[in-house]
C-alpha cells in the first residue's frame, strides 16, 4: 500500500538519514531493480509499424496502460495513463512529440478531454532536439496548424511569461463538429535534462500555479505531462504532486515515497531517471508539506531548513549545464541520450537501432562520487575516504589569484634586472631577442603553474567542504 494509515513513516527523518549517509544512489538502484522485476509487457511499441513513432528505443509504453487512439489510421502513441487512486490523481505521461506524431499528440489531448499540457523541457537542449514544436509559432487564427489526418486544428491564442516558466492558451478545434476547447500549456523552461530545478520553491510555485487552474482535479480529463522521454522530469512532477495530495489527506507520516514511486512505475517504465531527481523529489515534498501544515511559514525559512541537511551535496544546475555545453561546443550534435539507466534492459527486439551517448553532466555529481567509492577507481588511483584524514595536496597552499599574479610580476622584474648585467657582453639586438624569448618562456610557464594551482586549490576546497559537511 502506498499510504500507511497508522503513521510512523517520517519523510523528513528518512531524507536526513539517507542524505547523511549519501545513499541516494543505493536507494535509487533498489527502486529500479524492484520495478524491473515487476515490469509489464510493451509489445505494441516494438511492432515494426510503431517503432518509428518512438523518440527513444528504450522508452516504451506498457500495453496495459497505454493510451489507445480512436480516430484515424494509427491507434499507437508513446503514452501511458498513470493513476494514483488514493490521491484521486491521474496523469498522461508521454514523450515530447516527433514531427510525425504531432497530430497523434493532439488527437490524444482531444479524445482524453485533457484541460492542460505540462511541458517540462525545452525544444532544444545541448544541441539536441528534445521535442518538436507542436503548437503554432505565431498568435492568431491565420497561423493555426491544420491536421487533416485526424480532423483537428490548433491555434495559438496568447502567452504569459512568468520568468522561469510560460503559460500559453492553445485552441484545439474538431474540424468534423467545429467545436473548440482552450487547452492550457504550462511550459517549465529552466529544468535541465537528467537534472533538477534550481530550487524546490521555484518548482512548488510552478506546481501551485498548475493546481490553481484546476487542471489536475478528478472531475476533468487527465493532464498531459511530458518532457523529452516522458519519464524523468515528468515522473518527478507527478510523484511530488501526488505525495502532497496524500499528505494533505492523511498527514506527512502516512506517506511512503518509495512505494508510491514503485506503484507509478507499474503504469509507465523508468519514472524518475536519476538519484538526484529522487532526492529533489523528497526535498520538494518536505517543503510543500511544511507549507501545507504551516501556511505562515515563509519560503525562505523552508529552504533554510532543508538546506541544513543537504548543503554538502547541492548541485549548481546552471554551472553543470554550462560546463556540458562548453565540452560539446566543438563536436557535432549527438544522437538522443540514453534512457536505459532507469528502464528495462534492451532486447534484440528494441526499436530504432542507433547508439546513444553517455548521460550529460547534469546528472548528479554525488552519484558519480558514490559509484567511485563503491567500485574503486577505474585507473587504480586511491579513492577519497570521507571518514579518514584529509590528504595533503601538493601546491595547494591556498594562494589567491592576486598573489600568483603579483608573484608573476616579481619574477618578471627579476628577469629584467639580470638581463641588464649581460648587456655589455652581447650585442643589443641579440640581447633583446634573448630577453624576449626568455621572458615569453617564463611567462608561459608561470601561467601554466598559476592555472594548475588554482585548479588544485578549488579541488582542495571542495574536499574540505565535503568532509566538514559529513562530520556535521
Binding residues for substrate: 193, 227-233, 273
Q: Give the contacts of 212 (CB within 8 A, at least 6 positions apart).
A: none
Annotate 206-233 with DSSP letters as a single string: HHHHHHHTTTTSTTSBPEEEESSSSSHH
Rounded Cα–Cα distance for residues 301 and 287 (Å): 10
Residue 155's CB is within 10 A of a number of other CB atoms, namely 21
CB-count exposure of residue 171 (10 Å: 0-12, 13-18, 19+): middle
Residue 399's CB is within 10 A of a number of other CB atoms, namely 16
Rounded Cα–Cα distance for residues 185 and 203 (Å): 16
Which residue bears the cell 618578471?
A: 412
**For residues 269, 273, 278 and 279, what is the CA-based torsion angle, rounded to 10 degrees?**
180
Annotate 270-331 with DSSP letters as a single string: T-S-SHHHHHHHHHHHHHHHHHHH-TT--HHHHHHHHHHHHGGG---HHHHHHHHHHHTTTS
Rounded Cα–Cα distance for residues 448 and 404 (Å): 11
> Phi and psi of 165, rounded to 5°?
-150, 160
**For residues 374, 377, 382 and 388, what is the CA-based torsion angle, rounded to 10 degrees?**
-20
227 is catalytic: yes
**Which DSSP letter does residue 259 get?**
H
User: How many CA atoms lie within 13 Å of 48's alpha carbon, on the beta-carbon side?
Assistant: 0
Helix axis angle for 275-293 and 11-21, nearest 10°, is 150
- Choice among 227, 238, 243, 420 that is catalytic: 227
Residue 41's CB is within 10 A of a number of other CB atoms, namely 11
Instruction: Say whether 4 sits in a helix, a strand or coil.
Output: coil
Closest by CA to 261, choosing from 9, 23, 19, 35, is 35
Cell output for 2:
502506498
Residues with a known catalytic role:
227
Amino acid at each position: 500500500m502506498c499510504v500507511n494509515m497508522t503513521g510512523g513513516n517520517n519523510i523528513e527523518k528518512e531524507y536526513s538519514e539517507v542524505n547523511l549517509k549519501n545513499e541516494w544512489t543505493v536507494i535509487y538502484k533498489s527502486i529500479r531493480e524492484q520495478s524491473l522485476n515487476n515490469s509489464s509487457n510493451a509489445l505494441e511499441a516494438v511492432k515494426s509499424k510503431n517503432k518509428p513513432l518512438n523518440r527513444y528505443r528504450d522508452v516504451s509504453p506498457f500495453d496495459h496502460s497505454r493510451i489507445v487512439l480512436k480516430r484515424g489510421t494509427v491507434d499507437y502513441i508513446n503514452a501511458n495513463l498513470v493513476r494514483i487512486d488514493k490521491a484521486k490523481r491521474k496523469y498522461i505521461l508521454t514523450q515530447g512529440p516527433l514531427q510525425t506524431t504531432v497530430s497523434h499528440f493532439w488527437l490524444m489531448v482531444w479524445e482524453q478531454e485533457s484541460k492542460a499540457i505540462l511541458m517540462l523541457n525545452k525544444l532544444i537542449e545541448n544541441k539536441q532536439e528534445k521535442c518538436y514544436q507542436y503548437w503554432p509559432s505565431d498568435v492568431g487564427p491565420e497561423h493555426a496548424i491544420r491536421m487533416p489526418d485526424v480532423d483537428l486544428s490548433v491555434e495559438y491564442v496568447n502567452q504569459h511569461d512568468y520568468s522561469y516558466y510560460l503559460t500559453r492558451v492553445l485552441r484545439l478545434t474538431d474540424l468534423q463538429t467545429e467545436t473548440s476547447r482552450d487547452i492550457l500549456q504550462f511550459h517549465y523552461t529552466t529544468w535541465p535534462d537528467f537534472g533538477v530545478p534550481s530550487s524546490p520553491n521555484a518548482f512548488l510555485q510552478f506546481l501551485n500555479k498548475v493546481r490553481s487552474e484546476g487542471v489536475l482535479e478528478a472531475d476533468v480529463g487527465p493532464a498531459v505531462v511530458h518532457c523529452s522521454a516522458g519519464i524523468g522530469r515528468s515522473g518527478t512532477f507527478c510523484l511530488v504532486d501526488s505525495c502532497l495530495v496524500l499528505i494533505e489527506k492523511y498527514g506527512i507520516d502516512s506517506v511512503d515515497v518509495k512505494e508510491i514511486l514503485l506503484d507509478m512505475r507499474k503504469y509507465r517504465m523508468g519514472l524518475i531517471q536519476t538519484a538526484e531527481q529522487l532526492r529533489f523529489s523528497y526535498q520538494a515534498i518536505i517543503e510543500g508539506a511544511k507549507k501545507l501544515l504551516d501556511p505562515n511559514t515563509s519560503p525562505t525559512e523552508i529552504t533554510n531548513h532543508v538546506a541544513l541537511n543537504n548543503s554538502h551535496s547541492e548541485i549548481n544546475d546552471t554551472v553543470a549545464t554550462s560546463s556540458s555545453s562548453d565540452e560539446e561546443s566543438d563536436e557535432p550534435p549527438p544522437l538522443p541520450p540514453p534512457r536505459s539507466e532507469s528502464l528495462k534492459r534492451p532486447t534484440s527486439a528494441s526499436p530504432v537501432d542507433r547508439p546513444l551517448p553517455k548521460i550529460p553532466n547534469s546528472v548528479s555529481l554525488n552519484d558519480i562520487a558514490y559509484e567511485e567509492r563503491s567500485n574503486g577507481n577505474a585507473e587504480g588511483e586511491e579513492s577519497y575516504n570521507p571518514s579518514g584524514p584529509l590528504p595533503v595536496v601538493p601546491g595547494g597552499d591556498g594562494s589567491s589569484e592576486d598573489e600568483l599574479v603579483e608573484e608573476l610580476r616579481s619574477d618578471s622584474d627579476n628577469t629584467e634586472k639580470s638581463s641588464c648585467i649581460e648587456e655589455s657582453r652581447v650585442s643589443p639586438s641579440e640581447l633583446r631577442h634573448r630577453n624576449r624569448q626568455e621572458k615569453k618562456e617564463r611567462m608561459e610557464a608561470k601561467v601554466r603553474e598559476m592555472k594548475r594551482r588554482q585548479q588544485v586549490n578549488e579541488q582542495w576546497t571542495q574536499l574540505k567542504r565535503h568532509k566538514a559537511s559529513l562530520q556535521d
